[in-house]
Amino acid sequence: MDTVKQAPRYGSHHYINGAFSNAEPSRTGSVFNPSTGHEIYRTAYGDRAVVDDTVQVAVKAGREWANASQAHRLQVIFRMRELMLHQADKIAEITGLESGKTISDAQGELSRALEAIEFATNAPQITKGEYSRNVGGGIDTFSFRQPVGVVGCIAPFNFPVMVPMMMGTMAIAVGNAVVLKPSERVPGASALLSELWAEAGLSAGVWNMVNGDSEVVNAILEHPGIPAISFVGSTRVGEHIYQHGSKHNKRVAAYTGGKNHMVVLPDADLDAAASAFVSAAYGSSSQRCMAVSLLVCVGDETAQKLRDLVGDHIAQLKVGAYDDPSADFGPLVTQAAKASVESAIERAVAEGGEIVSDGRGITIDGHENGFFAGATFIDKVTTDMQLWQDEIFGPVRGMMRAKNLDEAIRIVNAHEYGNGAVIFTRSGGAAQVFCAEVEAGMLGVNVAVPVPVGHHNFGGLRRSKFGDAHMFGPDAARFYTKLKTVSQRWPQTETAQPAKPSLNFLSNG
């Protein structure tokens, strides 16, 4: 850990073909410690030329890796898992330092990354083709999946470890090379992971990292050597990624924003619901696409009780630096994010919201320039308010009221996003109706953050996901591979004279 603190420049260079690049970058950008508000180092920004060089490396390395046996590829994945476990403290430290999330939260993120890696050991199972004997005319038909080649992975700042590893590990496990662009805010963790991949025995050039901003993104989207794009980030960017990547005939999976509602029915365990809401709403300063944004209470009595319970919990929350073990959550990622949060609160008040808890204007001793915002909770939110309409990546959460389940579902479905949605109830019937009717990809029943376990598919609906593919979970095997289907027949030793050719469709086989 000390080495990290002493040499906090981990993410300053690209990682290409098995080594950190020592070329002089034309542009660089700041990497901050959000807990202090200070720049800790500058990271190289790539450009089209860097991307092109990297893709050429990746295409070549990917071709060999595609021909490696399943057995060999699997051993690398198993070793990577062990190395990440052994380096867990260092990974969490870099994550917290650059993103602002607390060490314990970073460890939670790492656990989820490991879950994804563990699932990637299922690659041989989930990429199996199918085999049918004698489908007709003496033909056996079978299929198999081969890697697409190179996958472009564009990752967000809020999960510096989990998202790159969720994308990259399965892509690699099935035989691709990866060109990763981590968030320019948090390149350090990806850089460390690059070293670990090499130590795990991955061939040089299979995992590559190019730092930078939209120039790198567009170079990836347009490069003919990259047939598949994985993206996690905002809807604004994700929509561009999907459209621009598709314009270049790529397959694209873009997981984007969310505005996740938590509906609480009167029959729910309200204590459990309040506790779950606060966890799911404010963790990581609410900078999660699966954070709960809105508490939708069915019935005024439910609302009143939850308002009190939630308010009490919030009063106990402690904001602090990423390495303060007593902090519940840390700073926002940038000064701009902090400003945006504060203006969202102002607007919400102007639109009629009722502040239950106000997180503006907090300062942390010894970290006076850190990008901190406290937990804010606003009652009387309605679908007219911008607070409801916009995704807010910061600890501003709202409370809404609905007459009944139907109205609550209508509220949830009125939003443009459909990432997660959850219900707290004891009623099997209410849960069934909720899951059937709510237009969100990940649903929770008495579970506040419905991120599915690694062996199920992750992905939202509507404007929370672009493209039909899933890139985390078992269907990822499809996104990261191409399918070939073979119709095979063998001539027997002594064949009769071939007949006059028949030109009808069915008989052509």
**Which parts of 144-203 interact with its own copies (CB under 8 A)?**
144-146
To its own copies, the closest distance from the beta carbon of 282 in angstroms equals 6
Q: Does residue 509 bind its own copies (CB under 8 A)?
A: yes
Name, in order, each residue with C-beta under 8 angstroms of 342's C-beta and a sequence gap of 6 or more: 360, 373
Of 348, 5, 413, 50, give the one whose Cα is nearest residue 208: 50
Exactly one of 50, 178, 226, 440 binds its own copies (CB under 8 A); which one?
A: 440
Residues 393-432 that bind its own copies (CB under 8 A): 425-429, 431-432
- Stretch 55-84 residues interacting with its own copies (CB under 8 A): 67-72, 74, 78, 81-82
Judged by CB under 8 A, the stretch of 53-61, 212-220, 267-275, 332-340 that binds its own copies is: 267-275
Total binding residues toward its own copies, as defined by CB under 8 A: 141
Q: In the complex, what is the shortest distance from the CB of residue 439 to its own copies, in angstroms, rounded to a whole number?
A: 8
Q: How many residues does the chain have?
A: 509
Q: Which range of residues in 4-12, 32-40, 181-189, 441-449 is near its own copies by CB under 8 A?
A: 441-449
Q: Please tell me what DSSP assigns to residue 448.
A: S
Residue closest to 186 by CA, chosen among 1, 33, 367: 33
Contact status, residue 44 vs residue 161, Cβ threshold 8 Å: no
Q: Specify whether 153 is catalytic.
A: no
Among 28, 56, 121, 382, contact with its own copies (rule: CB under 8 A):
121
Across 191-208, b (16+ Cβ under 10 Å) vs e yields bbbbbbbbebebbebbbb
Residues 2-31 that bind its own copies (CB under 8 A): none
Binding status of residue 325 toward its own copies by CB under 8 A: no
The interface with its own copies within residues 453-472 (CB under 8 A) comprises: 453, 455-459, 461, 463, 466-470
Q: Is 88 a binder of its own copies (CB under 8 A)? A: no
- Could you give the dihedral angle defined by the CA atoms of residues 199, 200, 206 and 207, in that order, rounded to the nearest 10 degrees? -70
Tokens describing residue 171: 């892509």
Q: Which residues pair with residue 262 across a beta bridge?
A: 295, 422
Q: Residue 61 in contact with residue 203, Cβ under 8 Å?
A: yes
- CA-to-CA distance for 33 and 288, rounded, in angstroms? 19
Backbone angles phi, psi at 65, to 5 degrees: -65, -35
Compare residues 319 and 385 and give the one whose CB is closer to its own copies: 319
Q: Name which of 16 and 296 has its Cβ closer to its own copies.
A: 296
Cβ distance to its own copies smaller for residue 37 or 474: 474
3-class state of residue 399 by DSSP: strand
C-alpha pair distances (Å), 162 with each of 54, 62, 166, 418: 23, 23, 6, 21
Question: Does residue 45 interact with its own copies by CB under 8 A?
Answer: no
Is 178 or 210 the residue whose CB approaches its own copies more closely?
178
The reply to whether 339 sits near its own copies by the rule CB under 8 A is no
Question: What single-letter amino acid sits at 122?
Answer: N
Query: Considering 153, 289, 297, 435, which one is annotated as catalytic?
Result: 289
CA–CA distance, 395 with 204 (Å, rounded to integer) = 41
Bridge partners of residue 424, in order along the sequence? 264
Is residue 382 a contact point for its own copies (CB under 8 A)? no
> Using an 8 Å Cβ cutoff, are 412 and 421 in contact?
yes
Which of 32, 377, 417, 479 forms a contact with its own copies (CB under 8 A)? 479
Among 136, 201, 352, 366, binds its own copies (CB under 8 A): 136
Is 444 a binding residue for its own copies by CB under 8 A? The answer is yes
Q: What span, in angstroms and rounded, lies between the C-alpha atoms of 147 and 82?
A: 25
- Judged by CB under 8 A, the residue of 6, 24, 326, 498 near its own copies is 498
Binding residues among 268-307 for its own copies as defined by CB under 8 A: 268-269, 271-272, 274-276, 278-280, 282-284, 288
Site for its own copies in 233-262 (CB under 8 A): 239, 242-243, 246-247, 249, 251-252
Q: Known catalytic residues?
A: 289
